[in-house]
Amino acid sequence: MLSFFRRFHDSLFFVLRKSEGWLPGLTARFVFAAVLFMYFFNSAKTKVGELPDGFFQLQDGAFFQIIPTVVERFGYDASQVPFFPYQLIVYAGTYLEFILPVLIIIGLLTRLSAVGMIVFIVVQSFVDITAHAVDAETIGAFFDKASGSTILDQRALWVFLLLYLAVYGAGKLSVDYLVGRRRPLRNTSRSTGYP
């Protein structure tokens, strides 16, 4: 009986090891798409006019969400906020919130996009805590009995998922892999076989 379980164990993990070039990256991107894509898409939609015509028209809400303390200094009049650097930050934040999730899902520039999303989440959390004055329950704490706080608990898992993609890439079932196969590898001795 013990030998049966040992064979089963060895067979199962042999199959899983053979999938390491494509399954983890594909799964990470699928989980991102299933759990986070619509969150970021809907968040980005609140910052622009009605789609599709208003896509390039930033709404005042974009400024209030991204740089609330700056808008406050200008009497809550977003039109008075200087273009450089503040409006530029709002434009970049808004459109990267549309673009980076799509790049992650299709597996194009995955590592760079994942790092960009990590920075986005860190900045988002900082603004939520410092400018939007979220309560302690929303912030949460590590190593406590509750696991559902919006900022520390949930966003730590988001960052871990994105960190995996930043370190290991999208895997063999991605645009990155297809593009990478067309380029000659610079140092083949250290290549993992996928970008």
Of residues 37 and 10, more confidence is placed in 37
pLDDT at residue number 13: 85
pTM: 0.87
Label residue 45 exposed, middle or buried (CB < 10 Å: 0-12, 13-18, 19+). Answer: middle
Hey, what's the torsion of the CAs at 51, 29, 114, 159, to 10 degrees? Answer: 100
Residue 104, both tokens: 């992650």
Quick: pLDDT tens for 136-195: 999 999 999 989 999 999 999 999 999 999 999 999 999 999 998 876 656 554 445 455
The Cα 144–Cα 142 span in angstroms is 6
pLDDT at residue number 4: 87
The Cα 47–Cα 78 span in angstroms is 12
The Cα 122–Cα 55 span in angstroms is 25
Average pLDDT for residues 70-85, to the nearest whole number? 94
The Cα 155–Cα 99 span in angstroms is 19
